[in-house]
Homo-oligomer: A and B are copies of this chain.
């Protein structure tokens, strides 16, 4: 089996193929471009040699001249939230079906994003999917670079940006409706991190609906989306109220799960008999029988598909106006909440 590298340690280039096939480098290039003007004879000849040499066009060189890297940056923070890995995998799969690769940028802390934007730009990505918070100036920065970007589940109200969101408010309202219909009267809320727009929307959405429905007893305690904070949130609620509320509304599934476990194993309380718990997201473990969580599932498939096509459309047509697409969640009635 022949070695694919030339003697000098360089990679195989289109010139090597051209020389061996007795044609010009441009011919080789054209052979690899679908729909280019090449005779079948030429193509066959070149492809044969290319095959023999295991030649693959250098995407880096191509990017330089075409000004398309076929790479998209995906920025993810919040690795504690089980929800994000799923989003990431789906984005990756959908992009790759369209010939685009994901360059991954993970943030340990959301504040690390400053230097990161510069990094992203250096790699000349064709677009950016942001599942992290950005300040107004940072958005300006991207905008001025003219790179299409889409926010995933976060958007700035007074800003014309592309965004794909799940309707957090609506989802919370559904959950509250269900709980109130079933006769729950005292409520505890465990919110997410203050700086998470999603969390704020969810908590506000629930509060608003509770108010509309004239529910008097509502207590909010802070959480951070983690299992532990769901558990400690419940204990804190009990402390504050002196007793448990009828229902606890958690800003995500993982906290709801932590909350259920604390109820059962630390307080010895039955869910849903003595306490109803609901979450949000619809992550895999929420369906596990130990939890069987009542929650709102985000339509991740449709949301990621939307994000991908919004980006790629704007790579082709940079002048498309900004767009926000909001998807309704799916109410999942589980066994973690008493129903009427």
Query: Which of A's residues lie within 8 Å of B, judged by CB?
Result: 1, 3-5, 54, 56-61, 63-64, 69, 71, 74, 76, 79, 82, 84-86, 88-89, 92-93, 96, 101-106, 108, 118-119, 121-124, 140-141, 144-146, 227, 257-258, 260-262, 264-266, 284-285, 288-291
Given the known A-B contacts A4-B144, A144-B54, are A257 and B104 also in contact in the complex, defined by CB atoms under 8 Å?
no
From B56, B57, B124, B257, A58 is in contact (CB under 8 Å) with: B124
- Some 11 contacts from A to B, beta carbons below 8 A apart, are A1-B140, A56-B122, A60-B63, A74-B104, A88-B104, A89-B106, A92-B105, A96-B105, A103-B104, A265-B289, A285-B285
Given the known A-B contacts A61-B64, A284-B227, A288-B261, are A101 and B123 also in contact in the complex, defined by CB atoms under 8 Å?
yes
Q: Are B285 and A261 in contact (CB under 8 A)?
A: no
Across the interface, name the chain B residue whose C-beta is closest to A9. Answer: B146
Q: How many copies does the complex hold?
A: 2
Contacts A92-B104, A260-B290 aside, 17 further interface pairs with beta carbons under 8 A come to: A4-B144, A4-B145, A59-B124, A60-B60, A60-B63, A60-B64, A60-B69, A60-B124, A61-B64, A82-B82, A93-B106, A96-B105, A96-B106, A101-B123, A227-B288, A261-B290, A290-B291
Q: Are A104 and B102 in contact (CB under 8 A)?
A: yes
- Chain B nearest CB, measured from A201 CB (Å): 25
